[in-house]
C-alpha cells in the first residue's frame, strides 16, 4: 500500500493456510512464513516469488524477523518427530538451519544483536544471541499468561528491552535484562 492508499496485491501459490508473518529482508525483498506449506517465501516488490521448503516436515513456520546477522529467522509451531520445537534461520541464498528450543514459539523480533521470541505454552519470553546462537529463557512471574507478540519498546534501542503481549493474561509486559 502506498502512502496515498493505493493497494497492489500479489497472489501466492501457497496452501490454504497461506502466509503468516512477514518481514523486510536484508536483501530488499519481503520474506514471509508459509504456515501451512512448511516453507519460507521471498517476494520482491514487483512480485517475483521464491519458495524455500523447510527440512522439517509439518513444522508450521509462523513468526519471522530479520536478524542483525543479515539472515531471516522464524519460529516453528509444531514439534519435530523427536518432540522438540525449533527456531529456524535462512540466509538470502536459501540455506536453512534449525535450532531446538524447549517449547512452541510464536513471534520473533529482532532487537540489536538479539532475537526475542515468545513461548506461549510455557509462559516464557526468550532471546537468542545472533553472533553465538546462545539461548536464554525467562519465565514470566504471572502464571498462564500465554505470551504471544513481542517487539522493541518505545524509545529503546537496547537488546535488553522488549515488550510483549499476554493473550490469556490480558496484559502487556516489559522485560528488561540489564
Binned average pLDDT, 10 residues per bin, the chain of 178 residues? 78 67 93 89 90 90 89 88 86 94 75 79 84 86 83 64 83 82
Predicted structure pTM score: 0.81
* Domains, the chain: 19-176 (2.130.10.10)
Going by the DSSP 8-state scheme, the letter that residue 178 receives in this structure is -
Structure confidence at residue 14 (pLDDT): 57
Are 149 and 105 a contacting pair, CB within 8 Å?
no
Burial of 166 from C-beta contacts in 10 A (0-12 / 13-18 / 19+): buried
Structure confidence at residue 74 (pLDDT): 92
> In Å, what is the CA distance from 48 to each residue of 17, 19, 30, 132, 161?
21, 16, 10, 33, 36
Gap between the Cα atoms of 152 and 17, Å rounded: 28
Amino acid at each position: 500500500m502506498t502512502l496515498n492508499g493505493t493497494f497492489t496485491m500479489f497472489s501466492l501459490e501457497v496452501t490454504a493456510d497461506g502466509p503468516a508473518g512477514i518481514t523486510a529482508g536484508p536483501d530488499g525483498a519481503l520474506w514471509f512464513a508459509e504456515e501451512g506449506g512448511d516453507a519460507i517465501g521471498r517476494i520482491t516488490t514487483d512480485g517475483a516469488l521464491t519458495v524455500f521448503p523447510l527440512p522439517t516436515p509439518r513444522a508450521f513456520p509462523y513468526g519471522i524477523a530479520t536478524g542483525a546477522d543479515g539472515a531471516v529467522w522464524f519460529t516453528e509451531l509444531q514439534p519435530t518427530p523427536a518432540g522438540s520445537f525449533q527456531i529456524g534461520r535462512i540466509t538470502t541464498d536459501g540455506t536453512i538451519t534449525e535450532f531446538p528450543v524447549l517449547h512452541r514459539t510464536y513471534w520473533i523480533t529482532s532487537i540489536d544483536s538479539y532475537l526475542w521470541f515468545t513461548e506461549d505454552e510455557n509462559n516464557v519470553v526468550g532471546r537468542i544471541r545472533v553472533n553465538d546462537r546462545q539461548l536464554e529463557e525467562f519465565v514470566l512471574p504471572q502464571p498462564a499468561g500465554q505470551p504471544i507478540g513481542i517487539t522493541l519498546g518505545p524509545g529503546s534501542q537496547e537488546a535488553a528491552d522488549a515488550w510483549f503481549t499476554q493473550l490469556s493474561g490480558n496484559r502487556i509486559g516489559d522485560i528488561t535484562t540489564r
